[in-house]
Amino acid sequence: MKKFNFESKSFFYLTTFVFVSCFSAILVALDYNRPEYYTYLPLLPAIFALVSTVLFPIYRWFLDSIVITLIISIYFIRMVVTPLSMSLGGYHHLLLNLNVYQEMNQALLLIIYEFIIVFISVFYFKNKYHIEERKNMENKNMLERFSDIKLKVLVLLIFILLIISYILYPQLLNLYKIFAPTSLEEEIRQNVQYHQIKQSVPIIIYYFANFFSEIFRVIIVLILINFFKNKLRAKFAILLSLLVISINGIITTEDNALSVFMLLVYLLLLMKLYPEYKTKLKYTIGIAIPIFAFLLLFFKTGLGYKNSDLNSKLTDLSFMFQAYFSGPVNVAAGIYMNNNFNTDKFLMLIADIFRWIPFVAYFFTNIQDSTELFNSMLFNGQVRRDQIIPYISQSAFYFTEFIAPLLSVLLIKIIFKFERKLNTTNNIDMYVFYTLSIIIFSFSLVAYNISILIRFVFSILLPLYLLTSKKKPD
């Protein structure tokens, strides 16, 4: 490994993260309203600052490596922002089963243990798999996989079948919304509507429309971006591409996250296709995404509305961070579930796998999976599926708390292999596949779990790969 040169931008990134982490740690530690069961909570931001300082070389690649940028950002939210939001929100939670708090210190230690293992593995794998961007690779030489006439016919056939489905069952169009729900109440209403749609059409038609519409959205935008690249001047091509990307980004379905993921993928693709505008696009993305995320949180928690109570909205903000980034309460509930569930887990493991695979899922809906059990533990036996069992908790449930972080290491290794492929491919479509894979696998570490990762693999990644990887090698 070459000697690391601590460049000014790396130092700026590191000091910014460490400063905010220390601020969060001090604020939480000095909060006299902090309940006794959150004794170890200030350790989360403090450990983030300490580990970042010790492993400072990884910040050299922040904003230059997709993997490094995502991992640092996601764990920063979990370890630093979430405890701060909990303090500001008064440590409230939607939790109904108060026995879960008995596992809080164990949960906080598990979060810290996994974080340290993840960052050490990131440091190791980045040095092992580090490949500089191919400087002689010109984007004009990227291949257009969609020139394959068979693929074009297949895409057209999917489009025609989708149109027929919408004509026969127009309620399927209600699967699409402009913008994600901006409040908890709206999100609940939307989920109820999705359930009603599912009940009102033949199940095979519902799965077909839901499955292929997402694939079609991914491919059609990619085709348009490539068309603009080949037919128009760079500035006009970029502007039109940004317009198409934005329209696709604000149209959401049952899985709001996929729209956000694809927005990131296409913006990164533009940087690859137009290297002369790479710096401008990078800073535009770097500014636009935090602003977009802030506005989304601002309005989703109600802070953007008049007559909103600040304390209740800060509490809602805390709920959101805990739910979306596997906060301490959710991890503690997973541990409580493990300690209080004595039935054979094999059947549940089958459900955790097959209930999340498109089309196959229908045959396993009557088998309880860990998501149902997790929600039951959170809400005192209520039958719900709205909270996601964290990746680390689900791993610990099946493989013990000691082994669980090692499964995170396996995921990190796969992610870096995707990035290595990403940095050496000269195909537009495979660039999209690898980038989307990196984003989905990275978010699975904190925001999702093994089951949802399986769903993404079978509903998006595998079909995309099969549609775009034939004949021409990377």
What CA dihedral angle connects 215, 220, 225 and 227, to 10 degrees? 140
Contact 17, 72 (CB under 8 A): yes
The set of residues, in sequence order, having a beta carbon less than 8 Å from that of 435 and lying 6+ positions away, is: 66, 264, 265, 268, 269, 422
Beta bridge pairs of residue 84: none
| Residue 188 CB coordination number (10 Å) | 12
Task: Return the sign of the alpha-carbon dihedral for residues 16, 19, 22, 23.
Answer: negative
Q: Residue 307's pLDDT is what?
A: 52
The residues spanned by each domain of the chain are 145-303+424-447
Q: Residue 133's pLDDT is what?
A: 44
Mean pLDDT by runs of 10 across the 474 residues of the chain is 58 94 96 92 97 93 90 96 92 79 94 96 84 44 56 80 90 78 62 77 84 86 88 91 88 78 90 86 74 65 56 78 89 89 82 88 83 83 77 92 92 94 86 94 93 92 82 46
Radius of gyration of the chain measured on its C-alpha atoms: 23
Q: Residue 466's pLDDT is what?
A: 85
Q: What is the DSSP letter of 328?
A: H
The position carrying tokens 């860990």 is 370
Q: Residue 223's pLDDT is what?
A: 85
CA 90/CA 54 separation, integer angstroms: 32
Q: Residue 184's pLDDT is what?
A: 55
Find, among 328, 300, 304, the residue nearest to 316 by Cα: 300
pTM: predicted TM-score of the whole model, two decimal places: 0.88
What are the DSSP calls for 92-138, one per residue? --S---GGGGGGHHHHHHHHHHHHHHHHHHHHHHHHHH-----TT--
Largest CA distance in the chain: 67
The set of residues, in sequence order, having a beta carbon less than 8 Å from that of 78 and lying 6+ positions away, is: 44, 111, 115, 325, 326, 327, 446
CA 318/CA 40 separation, integer angstroms: 18
Q: Residue 44's pLDDT is what?
A: 97
Q: Residue 157's pLDDT is what?
A: 86
What the block records as the tokens of 381 is 């036996």
Find, among 17, 38, 14, the residue nearest to 80 by Cα: 17
